[in-house]
A and B are shown apart, each in its own frame.
Chain A
Amino acid sequence: MSDLVTGCTGDWEVVIGLEVHAQVSSNAKLFSGASASFGSAPNENVSLVDAAMPGMLPVINRECVYQAIRTGLGLKAQINLTSVFDRKNYFYADLPQGYQISQFKHPIVGEGSLRIVMADGSTRDIGIERLHLEQDAGKSMHDQHPTKSYIDLNRTGVALMEIVSRPDMRSAAEAAAYVRKLRSILRYLGTCDGNMEEGSLRADVNVSVRRPGGPLGTRTETKNLNSLRFIQAAIDYEVARQIEIIEDGGTIDQETRLFDTATGATRTMRSKEDAHDYRYFPDPDLLPMIVTQVEVDALASALPELPDDIRDRLMGKYGLSAYDASVITEERDTARYYEAASDGRDRKLVANWMTVELFGALNKSGNTFENCPISPENLGELVGLISDGTISGRIAKDVFADMFETGKGAAAIVDEKGLKQVSDSGAIETLIDQVLAANQEKVDDYRGGKDKLFGFFVGQVMKESGGQANPGMVNQILRSKLDGA
């Protein structure tokens, strides 16, 4: 395996498990009617329940439960028809109840799996241990006042799904691929918006190292990473740090660590000895949560096609490469775009234009896919014009640039600018004769054995035609004129 890390004393295998916290897409919070929207003024979305006023009681938001079940189904996981909400007790200023309502012993979703695709197209299945629902905490702000902390309870009680993987990943790249894939599935399902910058998706990373095939090493947990880059950087840092400690004769402390985004280093947050005793017990304000198989089946039948299924179809039926298929299906919108653009066209050519030209242009212009100026029908039309020989690939790039700029259709631009490919053999012959006559010396050189000059003549002819001559015909006629004479 190429994923081994070489230290001073030999190779090390990295073992990674992830706990991802994904904010459930829902209008209201998990146990209160308050809005779960992002970006409101501090303490605007706080109900009496969220503020833990005396005598207030939680009532489950069934939609959040359904979102968790949809996610479980998307992860091909066991759905538990009976699950239990527990209280996780600890004191903090932004935790008004003094406990978080979570699921400890009986989560709503059990074991599942998730397939990751690496850059080389290889795949690996990563085990999912469980998914449970829990409340988010509020936000403490320590920089607003010299001696006081400010508390914003808007996030308090917002529904989170904690998705726990098996320790199945062996490199930072695999961990990133896992989060990318998980995010993709959540977005397809519409169960989490996957917005890592706003904190809708964040990961705790468990990392340990061991000799290949050896017993598991002691792990550390680095909390609250909210970008793929940070996840990879934190893992890389932890791996290097742990290997160095062990190779210097030290031991790894089981502890919780924080990642410093400025320095890229991790540091101790709390040691195992300081670990909280959360005193979990079933929340007596809530009855065990029962869902019926009928409800689960109804949710299952309404699920959208998921990226793995579409990817398999793209590779199997359309013959796309593993890489192209993965890139196109990462987002539901891009997959839909591709399906529309390639309908009735050369599927592979459309994939190529999408992944190279379209994604490149979007990247360069800083545009998001939602604001893509080229409609899928127009991209399909462009590829159609290439396939039927109306325009050459080179001209097509110019047309594409024009389309990206103006949003116009491909055929319209070709017509407007007279870019139609010239496939009239008489017209091409005339052009070739002119070029050969103007370059008699080079013609002689070519015929004297410098056959590399062929490309020069092609270039000259295309240039004279303004790029519109059919390159295949130019090649064919030119060769017969030069070689056949």
Chain B
Amino acid sequence: MISPMPCSHYIIRKQYFLRGVCMTVMRKFWSKHTIIAAISAAALTLSGCAASNALNEEEDAPAADTSDTVKVGVLHSLSGTMAISEVSLRDAELMAIEEINAEGGVLGKQIEPVVEDGASDWPTFAEKAKKLLQKDKVATVFGGWTSASRKAMLPVFEQNNGLLWYPVQYEGMESSPNIFYTGATTNQQIVPSVTWLLENKGKSFFLIGSDYVFPRTANKEIKAQLKAEGGTLVGEEYTPLGHTDYSTLISKIKEEKPEVIYNTLNGDSNVAFFKQLKDAGITADDITVLSVSIAEEEIRGIGTDILTGHYAAWNYFQTTDTPENEKFVAAYKEAYGDDRVTGDPIEAAYNAVYLWAAAVEKAESFDVDAVKEAAGGIEFKAPGGTVTIDGDNQHTYKTVRVGEIQADGQFKEVWNSGEPVKPDPYLETYPWAEGLN
């Protein structure tokens, strides 16, 4: 493809360089090839569109209703930074599916899980969600952990009219018609725990969190609540995900002397933070730390010795005393090993499968719209107490619990809300939250 260059002088002198390049590009682009390309492009566009229409019709044809299995998607990160947390959710969902299958399945059909890896990467979540809905034509999908992965999947489910069950506590301010939220929204975890802290542990708060949407949004809400309920804010700090050096932050904490640290750090940062807090001589007796992202699984990773005496707020603990939980923990350990622990998101993922199955039975159909219609008011005797789907916002009623971390890595429940709390993702029933949304 060598061709003679008519204007060679530009190469030597800088000032002609750009003009020269532009001229060359122009001259060479408007050649015969360009015209051929343009014409064939136009022709091919037309034929392509026509053909793909035919293909789409084929694809959109309803899946045969005669088979004796029904496919559901299970979409969590099995690789990457989130795998450590999300693999347990997949395990819990597969266990629930197996249990339901052993009881005869849903509407007489066995549930066939299609497992995909979201790879801790948000576009991958969108890609795999699309694959599950368009290629596998699953009846529903259980999946996600981070808010970013949910936000990435949301348009896919809305555009394809799919159904997603999202099992993790999150920052609220969302209610998609195609998503059921079986984890807590803020008024079922953060808001009551702040009230409990104010009543029992102290008025001055220091907020620390990883730098992403959940901590930032949660802290905005906490600040508004503190103002309304008589607390004071002495500090608010964010560190990048994966940050491990907390010495500066801890000296700030020492200076400000808060009574409570409200911790929304995520992942590995917790290990560094709690270790360095202990090394600095601050124990649970000096400052109470309440975390919202540390469950039994994370305690194992961080180490019980440095966490003992601190608190966490959830809707379920492995130690929650219900007959359903006894059965659930025993089954989970039998399936995946004695060393495994359950936890709040694991329980919420397990519940999601049962809630979906119940909604399908009530609707007598796997059709997404029919299932959504039937879901309102569905109840399930979950390991953490009865959960009910709120038909208006597709969240669930859940009991709020605060637990103290024990030396054996389990929680001792110190407070609970007594009855399931109605989900309020937009905090509409709290006057102090008015400016937030």
Chain A partners chain B: no
Q: Which residues of B contact A (CB under 8 A)?
A: none
